[in-house]
Amino acid sequence: MINLDDAQVFQRFDPGGMLAFLHQMPRQFQQAWEMAINFDLPEDYRNVDKVVVLGMGSSAIGAELVSGLVAAEAKLPIFICRDYSLPAFVDARTLVIASSYSGMTEETISSFEQALKTEAKKMAITTGGRLKTIAAKANIPVFSFDYKAQPRVAIGFSFMAVLGSLQKLGFISDQSADVAETVLTLEELSQEIAEDVVLSRNPAKQLAGVLYGHLAVIYGAGILSGVARRWKTQLNENSKAWAFYELSPELNHNAVVGYKFPPELADKAVVVLLRSAFLPGTAQASYQVVCRLLEKDKVAYQIVEGRGKSRLSQMMSLLLFGDYLSYYLAILNQTDPTPISSISYLKGKLAKG
């Protein structure tokens, strides 16, 4: 197996420089937050009773993370639309946010163009492309940022743009203190799991070794539901690996029955349970029982804990841990974490009809 303590392997298998973007993540979150709280929206955008975020992949996950974070206090529901069609309930009291890193995501463009025909309030989050052009032509506010990378490593911008907008419109409380604490937590965590920290003291490298050659199934709950999806998609895109995710308490009603067959899979699967001090007691208790069931059916599992004092830091520390983990697994798989040729191939074929 590849030696993750050998600095040369990162140069060999990471020609796209994904590692450098991981190093920048804490700073990116700080920069994105500063941009978000200085982004102006019309006063009448406060007169809405729901938010619909249009997006796919990494451009949608930021809003999903925000939705989970603020669910207990937000004064209105947040819906994520990952489709070509706009929900029929969108009306004049809806804030529609189109999020597309490239500004060229066809599903997002399609649903946003439908939104233009409604009286909904609208904004866009993008680096450019058709989305920026369409929004500017219609005098719609655009949260525009310049960050040249794969969309999945620009998560700070898609997340903070939504979080900051909700705060400025008065739908959630001031998040500034939690953001500051989160940035410090991410900086500390980065130093603990960076590539120059040896395997024996690096939990992200260690877990990558456990997942190497196995099927990863990520369990999340509550505020970590979006983080579980993020782990799954990062393992797909960075590690080029099969991965799935399940959410508690729903998994208690079906997934726990499926550990038995096919019996050969028990040796090839590893369940990773994401845990936070902010999960409700019922979720903590169900995790304990689920672990007993996994042990009974001889399915390996690992528990990864969130860091920090706030909900936000617990979420984002687990997100960053998963990003590093997926990077190390890519190196173990001897594959470049940056390219996503299968997605490019699929999009090309769809574009040709």
Cis before 262 (ω within 30): yes
In the residue annotation, 23 being an active-site residue is answered as no
Sorted by sequence, the CB contacts under 8 Å of residue 117 that are 6+ apart come out as none
Contacts 24+ apart (CB under 8 A), 297-300: 297/259, 297/260, 297/266, 298/266, 298/267, 299/259, 299/266, 299/269, 299/270, 299/271, 300/210, 300/214, 300/269, 300/270, 300/271
Q: Which of 253, 264, 349, 352 is catalytic?
A: 253
Kindly name the residue from 122, 237, 240, 246 that is annotated as catalytic: 237
Catalytic residue status for 347? yes
CA dihedral 217, 236, 154, 209 (to 10 degrees): 70
Which of these is catalytic: 50, 168, 214, 347?
347
Q: What is the DSSP letter of 346?
A: H
User: Annotated catalytic, 214?
Assistant: no
Cβ 338 vs Cβ 96: under 8 Å: no
* Structural contact between residues 233 and 57, judged by C-beta atoms closer than 8 angstroms: yes
* CA dist., res. 25 & res. 194, Å (int): 12
Tokens 């508690």: give the residue. 248
Which residues are known to be catalytic? 237, 253, 347
